[in-house]
Structure 1
Amino acid sequence: MSDTFWQLLALWLVLEGLGPALMPQKWQQLMADLSQQKPRVIRQIGLVMLVLGGLLAWLVKH
């Protein structure tokens, strides 16, 4: 795999770790609130994140 992939993965892990590390109680509440959502809503959030992430990665690359 390319170095770009590993750099993006590393950045994603750093960004994902910020919430729990800096605001553990707010992060925990967010996860509790999210767990109360219907699966359809969670899937839609995930799909939007995938599309936006893919678009942003494509824009940065080009």
Structure 2
Amino acid sequence: MLETLWVGIALVMIIEGVGPMLFPKKWQRFLLQMASQPPEQLRTIGGVLVTVGMVSLLFLL
């Protein structure tokens, strides 16, 4: 179980690192756009992502 958790964390780090590594300028613009969004919108986006991730896990496991 713990090994699976570490594998999942490692995969997230790899996926999150691809954008800045391959497209640093676009990544900077994206982060600037995200920073200018109101907190309520960011909270909504985060909630949607968490929900989609949890539903995906339920179907995959």
TM over 0.5: yes
Find the counterpart in structure 2 of residue 25 from structure 1.
25
Alignment of 1:1-62 (within 5 A): 2-61=2-61
1:24-50 per-position Cα deviation (integer Å, ceiling 9, x unaligned): 000000000010100000001111111
Identity across matched positions, percent: 34
Gaps of 5+ in 2: none
Gaps of 5+ in 1: none
Larger deviation: 49-58 or 16-25? 49-58
What TM-score does the superposition give when structure 1 sets the normalisation length? 0.88
SS of structure 1 residue aligned to 2:12? helix
How large is the Cα RMSD of the aligned pairs? 1.1
Q: Which runs of 4+ in 1 moved over 3 A?
A: none
Q: Counterparts of 2:39 and 2:3 in 1: how far apart (Å)?
A: 34
- Would you say how many aligned residue pairs link Structure 1 and Structure 2? 61
What TM-score does the superposition give when structure 2 sets the normalisation length? 0.89
